[in-house]
Amino acid sequence: MITLVIVIIAVSVMVLFSVQNAAPVVVSFLSWKFGASLAVIIVLSVLIGILIGGTTASFFRLKRSIKNKKAMSRGTMENKQHP
């Protein structure tokens, strides 16, 4: 239930933000140019940031999980060797 409330609040803030920042802007990057409302540009930037951050966090979580599994397997191997 709390997740639903948080999602409703986030969507409401996003809608208010979009309505207040509807001015068109042009974004230039290298030879690429893209025109859209300021709200769309910022929302796309946030989504790309979430994607990059989530991917990076998942990578480090996976790396730590593999390290922990190796440490646990070494620990069980040592326990079997030393009765």
Q: Is the pLDDT score of 83 beyond 70?
A: no
Contact partners, residue 41, CB within 8 Å, separation at least 6? 25, 27, 34
Q: Higher-confidence residue: 79 or 59? A: 59
CA 16 and chain centroid, separation: 22
3-class SS string, 15-34: HHHHHHCCCEEEEEECCEEE
**High-pLDDT (> 90) share of the chain, %:** 19
Q: Which tokens in the block code for residue 16?
A: 């208010």
* Banded model confidence at residue 56, pLDDT cuts 50, 70, 90: very high
Name the residue with tokens 């979009």: 18
pLDDT tens, position by position, 21-53 = 888 899 888 988 988 888 888 888 888 988 999
| Residue-level pLDDT at 13 | 87
Q: How far apart are CA 12 and CA 3, in angstroms?
A: 14
In the chain, domain spans: 41-83
